[in-house]
Amino acid sequence: EPHTVAGVYQEITAPERLVFTWRWAHLPEAAEMLVTLTFNDVAGDTVLDLHQTLMPSDGSSRMHNQGWSSSFNKLDVFLSR
């Protein structure tokens, strides 16, 4: 099931950091959250650190954690083909 979000990049520091706002596109009244992605070189591999803040509730935080985990698992499967 596709999910559509809207946001604005707040910071782009290539190649190490992205910061952007995040809001569900189909819910204009939804709270705007902030996502920070940090890319770290660890022994020649890239480690991604993701922080999503300004969550409207603990339940929302859990749901987003599950969503990000699922998305990255799918990306891992796709990239390993």
Whole-number Å distance between alpha carbons of 57 and 70:
20
Q: So what's the pLDDT on residue 26? A: 87
What's the pTM value of the predicted model, to 2 decimals? 0.86
Do 21 and 10 touch, CB atoms closer than 8 A? yes
Q: Is the pLDDT of residue 60 over 80?
A: yes
Q: So what's the pLDDT on residue 3? A: 83
**pLDDT single digits (tens) 7-48:** 999 999 999 999 999 999 888 888 899 999 999 999 999 999
Q: So what's the pLDDT on residue 37? A: 98
Class of domain 5-79: alpha beta
Between 80 and 1, whose confidence is greater? 80
Q: What is the dihedral of CA 69, 17, 9, 65, to 10 degrees?
A: 20
- Helix and strand element counts for the chain (H, E): 1, 5
